[in-house]
Amino acid sequence: MSTGDDERVLEFNLNIGKKKPDTIHRHESYCPFCDVDNLKGILAKDGPIIWLKNAFPVLKNTYPTLIIETENDDGEFSTYEPVYAERLLRFALDKWRQLEESGRFKSVLFYRNYGSMSGGTIRHPHMQIVGLEEHDYREDVHLRHLQGTPVLVTKTLEINLSDRPLLGFYEINLILRDHADFSVFSRRLQGIALYMTRQFSKYTNSYNLFFYDFPEEAGLFVKVVPRFLTNPLYVGYKIPQITDTVSRQRLIDAVRRFLTEEKE
């Protein structure tokens, strides 16, 4: 079935998908990421951090890879020691750039799932880097989706609440303008992830991290999206939503207070 440029899709191989282990929803006891001795397709390592090919390539015309963050199921990015979180991010960003600069792909996805509503199937902390052979995500995601009402802003780092979310209601964006302040960026990203897991809502502690690269504008762009059941207007009509001004300001104030009260 052919589609137009405005109907880009990725084909998911359900037969492969059925074989994927699931330690989140099915509570399977065996975790393949804990079984380091039997891991295959390892591309690079930095101590317990491992970059490897995804053993279950469910998406057609892609090059799926994973970054295993820790040696065991325990831990979460938001609660790692800041030095370790920065080390992990630097490693992952290097591998993302490596695939981007290889010239093999139209674009390369870099994202992280956390929680039962995030779309992940393995509890063990990990990130995903996926090369897309026929799809450029920047045809659907634009700079305007990473702009919004300021939460915290410095000369090198902007944190905002999206005015034009991809999904809605609340999406927090981080824009790093100067990599000299990468340590601050890493700590702030941890802080926002921690807010999502502990303070944001009693109905979910799930979130996604999405990383973006826009050739027309220098900087590292990241979107933090709390996850709920997807709103029906988006499912049926692709219409994202934002909340009322008072509710938006309440969240902005809460996030700003949470970040500034954290121990640096």
Give per-residue pLDDT as tens, 69-92: 988 887 899 999 999 999 999 999
Distance in angstroms (rounded) separating the CA atoms of residues 170 and 248:
8
- pLDDT tens for 118-159 read 656 677 888 999 999 999 999 999 999 999 999 999 999 999
- pLDDT tens for 165-207 read 998 889 999 999 999 999 999 999 999 999 999 888 777 788 8
Global pTM reads 0.89
- Worst-scoring range by mean pLDDT, 5-14, 78-87, 208-217? 5-14
Distance in angstroms (rounded) separating the CA atoms of residues 264 and 152:
15
Looking at mean pLDDT, say which of 27-31, 53-57, 169-173 comes out highest.
169-173
Query: With pLDDT > 70 as the criterion, what percentage of the chain qualifies?
Result: 87
Amino acid at residue number 127 = M
Q: Which helix (H) or strand (E) holds 256?
A: helix 245-261
Distance in angstroms (rounded) separating the CA atoms of residues 153 and 219:
14
Is residue 82 within 8 Å of 114, Cβ to Cβ?
no
- What pLDDT, on the 0 to 100 scale, is given for residue 71? 86
Burial class (CB in 10 A: 0-12, 13-18, 19+), 246: exposed
* pLDDT surpassing 50 at residue 19: yes
Is residue 51 within 8 Å of 12, Cβ to Cβ?
no
Give the pLDDT band (50/70/90) at residue 4. Answer: very low
Strands laid side by side in the 207-212 sheet: 42-46, 49-53, 62-68, 126-132, 107-114, 207-212, 220-226, 172-176, 157-162, 148-153
What is the pLDDT averaged over residues 228-239? 72
Residue 161, SS3 per DSSP? strand
Q: What percent of the chain is helix, strand and coil (3-state, nearest 5)?
A: 30, 25, 45
What rounded mean pLDDT belongs to the chain? 87
